[in-house]
């Protein structure tokens, strides 16, 4: 039976239309991290078209100022903040080009989603909401600044490049959270960790058989928000398979490519290997048995895991065995997933690591991680642990870059108290107040502007940073209504 709801409802027709029409327009503009030229041009033209003061800074951020509505000129200034870029993740079957193709979003059973790619609700809904506020001639508000930051998903370089004394507002509303009904007052800091292995090439002896090993079907997800769900990590799974093949059949590795982005739990990994022809049958049976065992282990969290061992042409050259053994041991020893839960906020992850990427290049293999913690000392301890993994591997080197600070919760925040009251009045219940195990730009911006009173909130988004990403339409309406009420409720000191 055809789903008429899907057929008859388009994205711009959803409520609130003031927001969804902008989300649809954004979905038509390619904007993966690092390729934000088109969306930056679009948003800047939008601001200037409204006759508003619009500026682009050296880091690629856009700042648009809108005067207060009549009678609210003396209210505290508010900064509405969202990021321009989106995470480019797609399924193995998708031929989507994130630098060229629009996102094909559709409505189904109360959610907006897409086919085979990330949706870009993170943070397209936030951007759309800000555009709708800027465009409105009727919403009451004090002095407004709209801050659209660049490259949040791949290093937060826009927030890091934000200069002091540019922003004038006293309150920052970050519209980049993903659970409606929750107000976030703190977030984890992060650090990029990289281990590099050098290798030499060895010739493959005669009478060797080639195989491609493929791990796929995992859910993946956001490496902060979803790290506690126990989902499979394609790099860890591939490493177990390679170790088993090395132990049982003297496996040699020609190439490996697992994961994609540091902030996405890796869903897929592929390797090209070779084993002696006379042990090929044992090799295949061993890996099939291990793959079935891993699938059973992950049956609840990742029921669609696939482990495939396919015949392939035997490679001419492989990675030297000493480097391979070092790689296998290092990936096995490298922490992954939740390292420690918070002792202060129940159910919140304090420290984690995402073993995000394992890829061979000419003469080297690079292992990339994203470390997160709300406690600086714990983040440093985790980095030391990963560095020791590299130190134990002959010839490997480690580096740590791109660090950004966490955002320390302030339960006495005036804007928090106001927003709790407004939420209760609007929806008849209290919002939850939480910290989030993900990197929000609040930590960085708050470091540059230490006097800001900040809150992060948003609609309900599920499975961000994966092709299953979707946003709940009813929560978008509530998010919009709440935002409108908050802007109207912020008065002078």
Q: Would you name the residues annotated as active-site residues?
A: 85, 152
Residue 166 to residue 125: CA distance in whole angstroms:
25
Q: Rounded to whole angstroms, how far apart are CA atoms 51 and 55?
A: 12
Residue 29 backbone dihedrals phi, psi, to 5 degrees: -110, 115
Residue 11 near residue 121 (C-beta atoms within 8 A): no
Region at 336 (left for phi over 0; alpha for psi -120 to 50; beta for the rest): beta
* Residues 170 and 76 sit within 8 Å (Cβ to Cβ): yes
- DSSP secondary structure code for residue 319 in this structure: E
Measured CA angle at 456 (ends 450, 459), to 5 deg: 165
**Cα distance between residue 117 and residue 469, in whole Å:** 8
Q: Is 352 helix (H, G, I), strand (E, B) or coil?
A: strand
Cis before 123? omega within 30: yes
Residue whose C-alpha is closest to residue 109's, from 422, 471, 400: 471
* β-pairing verdict for 453-456 and 171-174: parallel
How far is 85 from 256, CA to CA, in rounded Å?
28
CA dist., res. 415 & res. 407, Å (int) = 16
- Tell whether the torsion through CA atoms of 154, 158, 164 and 165 is positive or negative: negative
Comparing C-alpha atoms, which of 104, 119, 120, 133 is closest to residue 46?
133
Rounded to whole angstroms, how far apart are CA atoms 77 and 71? 14
* Helices vs strands, H then E, count in the chain: 12, 23
The Cα–Cα gap between 108 and 460 comes to: 15
CB atoms within 10 A of CB 362: 6
- Which is nearest to 309 in space by CA: 231, 233, 238? 238
């Amino acid at each position: 039976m055809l789903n008429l709801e899907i057929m008859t409802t388009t994205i711009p027709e959803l409520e609130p239309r003031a927001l969804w029409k902008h989300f649809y327009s954004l979905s038509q503009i390619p904007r993966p991290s690092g390729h934000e030229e088109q969306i930056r041009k679009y948003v800047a033209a939008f601001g200037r078209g409204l006759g508003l003061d619009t500026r682009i800074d050296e880091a690629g951020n856009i700042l648009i100022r809108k005067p207060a509505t009549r009678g609210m000129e003396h209210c505290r200034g508010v900064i509405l903040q969202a990021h321009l870029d989106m995470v480019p993740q797609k399924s193995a079957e998708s031929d989507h080009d994130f630098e060229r193709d629009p996102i094909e979003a559709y409505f189904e059973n109360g959610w907006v989603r897409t086919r085979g790619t990330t949706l870009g609700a993170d943070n397209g809904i936030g951007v759309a909401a800000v555009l709708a506020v800027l465009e409105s001639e009727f919403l009451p508000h004090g002095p407004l600044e709209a801050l659209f930051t660049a490259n949040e998903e791949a290093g937060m370089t826009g927030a890091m490049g934000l200069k002091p004394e540019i922003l004038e507002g006293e309150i920052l509303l970050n519209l980049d959270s993903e659970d409606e009904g929750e107000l976030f007052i703190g977030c984890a800091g992060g650090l990029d960790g990289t281990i590099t292995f050098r290798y030499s090439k060895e010739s493959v002896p005669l009478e060797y058989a080639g195989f491609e090993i493929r791990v796929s079907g995992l859910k993946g997800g956001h490496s902060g928000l979803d790290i506690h769900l126990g989902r499979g990590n394609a790099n860890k799974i591939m490493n177990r398979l390679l170790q088993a093949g090395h132990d049982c059949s003297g496996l040699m590795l020609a190439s490996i490519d697992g994961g994609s982005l540091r902030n996405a739990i890796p869903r897929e990994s592929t390797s090209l290997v070779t084993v002696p022809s006379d042990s090929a049958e044992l090799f295949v049976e061993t890996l099939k048995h291990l793959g079935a065992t891993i699938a059973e282990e992950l049956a609840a969290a990742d029921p669609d895991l696939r482990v495939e061992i396919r015949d392939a042409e035997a490679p001419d050259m492989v990675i030297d065995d000493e480097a391979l053994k070092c790689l296998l041991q290092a990936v096995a020893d490298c922490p992954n997933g939740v390292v420690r839960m918070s002792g202060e906020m129940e159910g919140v992850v304090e420290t984690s690591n995402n073993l995000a990427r394992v890829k061979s290049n000419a003469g080297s293999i690079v292992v990339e991680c994203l470390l997160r913690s709300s406690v600086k000392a714990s983040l440093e301890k985790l980095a030391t642990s990963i560095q020791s993994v590299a130190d134990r591997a002959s010839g490997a080197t480690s580096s740590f870059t791109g660090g950004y600070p966490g955002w320390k919760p302030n339960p006495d925040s005036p804007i928090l108290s106001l927003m709790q009251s407004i939420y209760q009045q609007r929806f008849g219940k209290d919002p939850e107040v939480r910290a989030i195990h993900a990197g929000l730009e609040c930590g960085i911006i708050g470091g540059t502007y230490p006097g800001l009173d900040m809150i992060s909130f948003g609609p309900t988004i599920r499975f961000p940073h994966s092709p299953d990403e979707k946003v709940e339409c009813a929560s978008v309406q509530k998010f919009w209504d709440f935002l409108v009420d908050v802007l109207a409720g912020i008065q002078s000191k």
